[in-house]
Amino acid sequence: MSVFQSIYSALQLGLPASHLAVVVIGASVIGCILGGVGAIASLRREALLGDALAHCTLIGVIFAFFWFGQREFSLLFFGACLSSFCGLLVIRALLTVPVIKPDAALAVVLAGFFGFGLIGLRYVQVSSLPNKAGLESFIFGKASLMTGADVTWAIIVAAVVLVGVLLSRRSLAALCFDSAGLVAFRPSVAIARIVFAALLLISVSIALPATGVILTCSLLVIPASIAKFMARSFFDYMLLATTIGAISGAIGAAASIYIENVSTGASVTLTATTLLALALIVRAYVDRQHRRVVEFPR
Amino acid sequence: MRRIFKLLPSFQLLFAVITLADPLPKPKITTTTSLLHDMVHQLAGDSVEIISLMGPGVDPHLYKVTPGDIRKLSRADLIVYHGLHLEGRMAEALENFGKRKPTFAAAEVLPNDKLRTLSDIPDPHVWFNVQLWREVTLGLASKLSKTFPQLETQVGTRGAQYANELASLDTEVDHAIAKIPEQQRILVTAHDAFGYFGERYKLKVHGIQGVSTDSEAGLSHIQSLIDLLVNLKVPAVFLESSVGERSIQALTDGAKYKGHSVIMAGPLYSDALGEPGSGAETFTGMVRFNVKSIVTALGGTL
Amino acid sequence: MSSSPSVPALEFHNVSVAYGERLVLTDIDFTIPSGSLVGILGPNGAGKSTLLKTAVGILPACSGWIKFFGSTFADHRHLIAYVPQRESVAWDFPATAFDVVMMGMFHEVSWWQGMGNARRARVVAAMERMGIGDLRNRPLQDLSGGQQQRVFLARALVQNPSLLLLDEPLAGIDVDTEAIVMQTLKELCANGATALVVHHDLSTVPQYFDRVLMVNARLICAGATSNVFRPEAIKATYGPRLSLHEAAREVARPIMNYREEK
């Protein structure tokens, strides 16, 4: 099969015709979600918040497994959301303590929750509970093994994120720019803060089982960084970040078909990083063209 | 939790009573996997105290040592582990114990020419070739006799008996697999555990992940597996007890998109024995269970 | 836009503010009549910014109460504009000057509505009033300090506020911007609005402000500039002598402003 043919068949949207299509579409939908949510997070200087929350989900997955005694996806998803929400609350609580810097708060929560998660996972692995196998794949998911069900979930979440972002576009912009300054708009900004946290939570929780923690974090950060180089308005920026996320997902997944022994997650991350490098080079070139000839010495 | 602490003194007392009552304490043998636990039990019966680090259904590739394990290992008179990097994440701990305690890497008694290698790494899943597992059993029997001379006669007779049992199991499996129509002797599983099985009993074997469960499969590999399922009309793919079902789900979905429906069979017991009562709690039981699942799913009749 | 002149625009009653255990402002008590242009003066670290942030509810007061036009902040939220210090804002935000000025009217429309052409025209008018009509489509990060300040003031203007709270709007900007900012504020106050401005340059106080609040952790004095802004009060606010460093800064400020602008 030629490269062109398989990319074409992979892009037959609407009717996934093959496993390739499932993975490529899934990766691009998840890239789209994470690109968009990561764009807001990175403007709020909270890109690593996603990373921390991603690591918080493990303990929730384990608890959900214990509590319900089964490996039903929606139950584990619920647990994941719940525990990363707890993680978020703890981070916010730590931030009110004057001596704790934001990065320290993130690090503490990430390490603490993930550590407990690993202990829990270990406990499950050595225990004799039924159905325990593969629990860890919720957080260390493998992109090449995405299933149609994963993609359906991802599309649902993408729709939720899209509606959320569109409805609160202005309050999200205000939240990112100066959250305190717009006195008159502050009630909406306060809602936007909650909306953003909720979107981040569900996006991370949906992306993890499909793509794993490393890919999730890189897709939160990299498309936003690229978009920031190129965008002139907030709308452009959001559009660019989601598009670049989607493109990285699609190209990365498609590329991993042709490269032997490269995992799909790594391939997607690599694609995104390559795009970032290209953006840096183009930006440097453009800057040189536009630089003023005379600079006043300070 | 608190209740356990309250019970703790009585446990200690119990231990003390046992040690007092027994004039010649039983040799303590710590094994890593449940398979080895079974092997030592078959050879030495109740005349040794066996502690297994991994219970039924535990994946040895991903298993990490806990402080509790270190205590179990240091209490042992002999440590029996599988070797050939099966206990991937325990290697360092086992090596350290090897310096100050008698240890025995059971599978490493096999000569190199009998081992399969995948990109220069030996495949550790030797137990699926019952002949090889028989050799490993004999190797362990002589190690036990040497280390604990008081057990020599017992291990000798039990070992010979068990070796015969394994030899007849080997032919039994051979006959059973032969009942699968020849073009359907293709075994697709979650990870590459069944290489020896395929080699000995003449099945083509494909795993989604590599030899260890600790790696991610590339998309090209998945796609070629799906093509294989569709082109050769393979009727079933197999779940494994110690690996999650996501990977198999991806395969059956992929084949379904191409109009070929594959059933999800099993689970097979691959890297660990089953729970007591599952019928797969001993090595022979596990092999029979697997063979039955494979033969029926692939269109043979028993 | 204008409230009845008898109601004070802003009242602080025994307000104290603390960061953790440390009291930053103690027992601040004053009343600002509508229509006044007020300078808030005090040395670095005196709590001037804290005073504004407490007024708009960014920081909580640990005692006392604050009233706007005789009632609560929430009742008059839409009449109040706050311009934060330039350094506190992320200027790499991907937006044009126009977008930022538009933010001043975000509270007027619902989630699902667009901003509409009438509001766009208001943005253009406000930007032209601030002399930055031609910068409409410039990305924010390409603007100079003075231009950023004008964008912020335009954002406040577009809201038609009755009370403006500005945190150091004249710091690090060029002479032209300083002139246009002060002129705009004077016009607003002449039309009945009230403005509180955190200010550093003591030499321009009598020329710019008709009232002053002099603060150094406590309120030193408050009142009409001609009555209150006297050497004794300055001494009480800035310590027994204006430190050499402060004096040097005051002298150097116009030059520094000019250079930062270039």
SS3 at position B67: helix
Cβ <8 Å between B258 and A142: no
Q: Which pLDDT belongs to residue B170?
A: 94
What is the mean pLDDT of the segment spanning A154-178?
91
Residue of chain A whose alpha carbon sits nearest to that of B57: A128
Question: Helix (H, G, I), strand (E, B), or coil: what is residue B205?
Answer: strand
In Å, how far are A226, A230, A282, B158 from A286, measured between CA atoms? 15, 11, 6, 81
Backbone angles phi, psi at C68, to 5 degrees: -115, 125
Tell me whether A258 touches chain B (CB under 8 Å): yes
- Give the per-residue pLDDT at C142: 87
- Cα nearest neighbour of C52 on chain A: A181
Q: CA end-to-end span of chain B, whole Å?
A: 49
Supply the pLDDT for residue A133.
Answer: 64
What is the structure's pLDDT at B211? 58
Q: Do A188 and C106 make contact, defined as CB atoms within 8 angstroms?
A: yes
**Are the beta carbons of B55 and A144 separated by less than 8 Å?**
no
| pLDDT at residue A295 in the model | 45
C63-68 and C8-19: which strand pairing?
A: antiparallel
Higher local confidence (pLDDT), C188 or C243:
C188
Distance from the Cα of C228 to chain A's closest Cα (Å) equals 31
Can you give the pTM of this predicted structure? Answer: 0.78
Closest residue of C to A241, CA-based? C94
Closest CA to B240 of B197, B290, B278, B204: B290
pLDDT of amino acid B225: 87
Residue B214 pLDDT: 56
Given the structure tokens 């670095």, which residue do they identify?
C44
**Which amino acid makes up residue A25?**
I
A 2-61: CB under 8 A from C: 43, 45
Residues A83-111: tens digit of each pLDDT: 999 999 999 899 888 788 888 899 999 99
Spell out which residues of chain B touch residue A122, defining contact as CB-CB under 8 Å.
Answer: 64, 66
Extract long-range pairs of C133-136: CB within 8 Å, 24+ residues apart: C135/C97, C136/C96, C136/C97, C136/C98
Model pLDDT, residue A109: 93
Mean pLDDT of C162-184: 91
Integer CA distances (angstroms), B75 to B17, B100, C151, in order = 18, 12, 75
Test A188 with C80 for CB contact under 8 angstroms.
Answer: no
Q: Which chains touch C (3 or more CB pairs under 8 A)?
A: A
Task: Enumerate residues 65 to 124 of chain A having a beta carbon within 8 A of any beta carbon in chain B.
Answer: 122
For chain C, state the CA radius of gyration: 18
Q: What is the pLDDT of residue B25?
A: 78
Instruction: Supply the pLDDT for residue C151.
Output: 93
Integer Cα distance of B134 and B149 in angstroms: 22
Q: Give the gap in angstroms from C-alpha B76 to the nearest C-alpha of chain A.
A: 20
Residue among C88, C103, C196 with most chain A CBs within 10 A, to mutate: C103
pLDDT at A45 over 90: no
Could you tell me which chain B residue has the CA closest to the CA of A209? Answer: B246
**Residue of A19, A139, A211 to mutate, testing the B interface (most B Cβ within 10 Å of its Cβ):** A19
Inter-chain CB proximity B54 and A126 less than 8 Å: yes
> In this complex, which of B244, B254, B275 lies closest to A134 when CB atoms are compared?
B244
* Chains A and B touch each other (3 or more Cβ pairs < 8 A): yes
Residue-wise pLDDT for C208-250, tens only, equals 999 999 999 889 889 898 888 888 888 888 876 555 555 555 5
- Chains with ≥3 Cβ pairs under 8 A against B? A
Res A6: pLDDT: 47
> What pLDDT, on a 0 to 100 scale, did the predictor assign at position B7?
56
pLDDT at residue A2, rounded to an integer: 41
- Pick from A224, A222, A225, A226: nearest CA to A279: A226
Asked if A170's CB is within 8 angstroms of C106's CB, the reply is yes
Q: Is the model's pLDDT at C182 over the cut of 90?
A: yes
Q: Are C53 and C59 in contact (CB under 8 A)?
A: yes
Answer positive or negative: Cα dihedral of C99, C100, C106, C108: negative
Of the partner residues C78, C92, C106, the one whose CB lies closest to the CB of residue A174: C106
The predicted model gives C187-198 an average pLDDT of 92
Residue C194 pLDDT greater than 90, yes or no: yes
Nearest alpha-carbon partner for A109 in A81, A139, A140, A84: A84
Q: What is the mean pLDDT of residues C140-145?
A: 87
Q: Tell me which chain A residues have a C-beta less than 8 angstroms from the C-beta of C90.
A: 43, 45, 176-178
Task: Tell whether ipTM is more than 0.90.
Answer: no
pLDDT of amino acid C251: 54
Taking CB atoms and an 8 Å limit, are C94 and A182 in contact across chains? no
CA–CA separation, C179 and C169 (whole Å): 11
Chain A residues within an 8 Å CB radius of C20? 98
Q: Which residues of B touch A23 (CB under 8 A)?
A: 219
Q: What is the pLDDT of residues A206-261, one digit of tens each?
A: 888 888 888 888 899 999 999 988 888 899 999 999 999 999 999 998 888 777 77
CB pairs under 8 A between A and C: 87
- Residues with pLDDT less than 70, chain B: 1-24, 210-217, 242-244
Determine whether the interchain pair A168/C111 forms a contact, defined as Cβ–Cβ distance below 8 Å: yes
CA distance C210 to chain A (A): 25
Question: Across all residues in chain C, what is the average pLDDT?
Answer: 86
C10, C93, C102, C119: best to mutate for the A interface, most A CBs within 10 A: C93
B with C: touching (≥3 Cβ pairs within 8 Å):
no
d(CA B85, CA B33): 13
Res B295: pLDDT: 93
Is residue A176 within 8 angstroms of chain C, CB to CB? yes
C24-59 pLDDT, tens digit each: 899 999 999 999 999 999 888 888 999 999 999 888
Q: Cβ–Cβ of A126/B220 closer than 8 Å?
A: no
> Average pLDDT over chain A, rounded to whole?
83
Helix (H) or strand (E) holding A223: helix A213-230
